Chains A and B, each alone.
Chain A
Amino acid sequence: MLSTDTDVLKTAEAWRREGRGVAIATVVETWGSAPRPVGSHLVIDEETNFLGSVSGGCVEGAVITEALDVIADGKPRMLEFGIADETAWQVGLSCGGRIRVYVERVD
């Protein structure tokens, strides 16, 4: 079944209630042709299970890695992704867009 943003937040709640460490990543800003709209969510647990998407696959790997740190220390982070060769990130958006993603822990 396709995961929608509804499922994503329901899953985040369910995972947390099971006692897992959980982070939610949210697209808060986009420029150019971004693959997923502002407000899209990705939920990640401490074992890197995830549901949803913030970019349709381009930067999820990096978001998940950062999310593990957020789960560990509880500090929210703002991540920014642009096209690969213009940013310090190892990953980028091949479509040429730019996105900012807010990652926070569920406490």
Chain B
Amino acid sequence: MRKMRSIALGVALVAGTFTASSVMAATTLKNVKQKGHLQCGVTTGLPGFSQPDEKGNWTGIDVDTCRAVAAAIFGDAGAVEFTPLTAKERFTALQSGEIDMLSRNTTWTLTRDASLGLNFAGVNYYDGQGFLINKGIGVDDATQLDGATICIQAGTTTELNLSDYFRAKGMKFKPIVFDTSEQTVQGFAAGRCDVLTSDRSQLAALRSKLSDPNSAKILPNTISKEPLGPVVRQGDDQWFNIVKWVLFTQINAEELGVTSANADDMLKSDNPGIQRLLGTDGDMGAKLGLPADFGHKVVKLVGNYGEMYDRNVGPDTPLALDRGINALWTEGGIMYAPPVR
């Protein structure tokens, strides 16, 4: 089944390039406006990042990143259609033009940035790889994992990090590679592996899917840097800038204290930074090819970065993740956006 999907995408890539010259000429922004909606690639279901509820509404921090772009273009956060993709399919889907942007828990690496024909448009979550382990095994630290059998999801940077980490420590392991995170948890629950490895933000969510979440614990070790963010195709700088600056707008809004609740009142603010952000002063929108009030729309309809974080993965959600390094730079974190100027 997955094979069929991958082949279909491969064929789409070839067929797409067959007629591509005309598509290339038109910009992504024009295409999106013509379609009337943004086509956004997300996960097949990962709580806190992109997950459909029982009514088919998608929620999550990656989903909100897409909604913010739609709000900036159309003034309507609902003008998005989501394409669920496995880790293996995601880049091909973006390269072939099946989706306009990819917001799918994707780690920014040199290879991906430089050789896939893609551009990373920023970071909406700073993550790191960790381990989930059964409490019964009696291991408290990742350095005690020599010889362990480890469940991983296919097509992720985790596969490489894991290999590097064990090699550097001179330890051996047996990888069991599954296609989706759902199957990975099932394999872990069935006892096929001692350890499940993934980004730390996911471990909490995956742990909550176990029949007895208290039987497993997350080891304290973080073995890699995983900056996650939205991705666009290379060669369309306007679109790249739009996705990048919509995310920066949300981060700047948090820094300036603009929220979805007070966005309308803030229109009357005489702080020049807020005026430029919300479009009451300057022509920031026009420079990006967006409406002048795009910043106001993004913050009002989707919220600033902090709201987006708290709503989806923050302490009051089932994931209960502290802001940690994802806090603003003014509050001890590393979330930092260039100025709107």
Q: Do A and B share a complex?
A: no
Enumerate chain A interface residues (CB-CB to B < 8 A).
Answer: none
Enumerate chain B interface residues (CB-CB to A < 8 A).
Answer: none
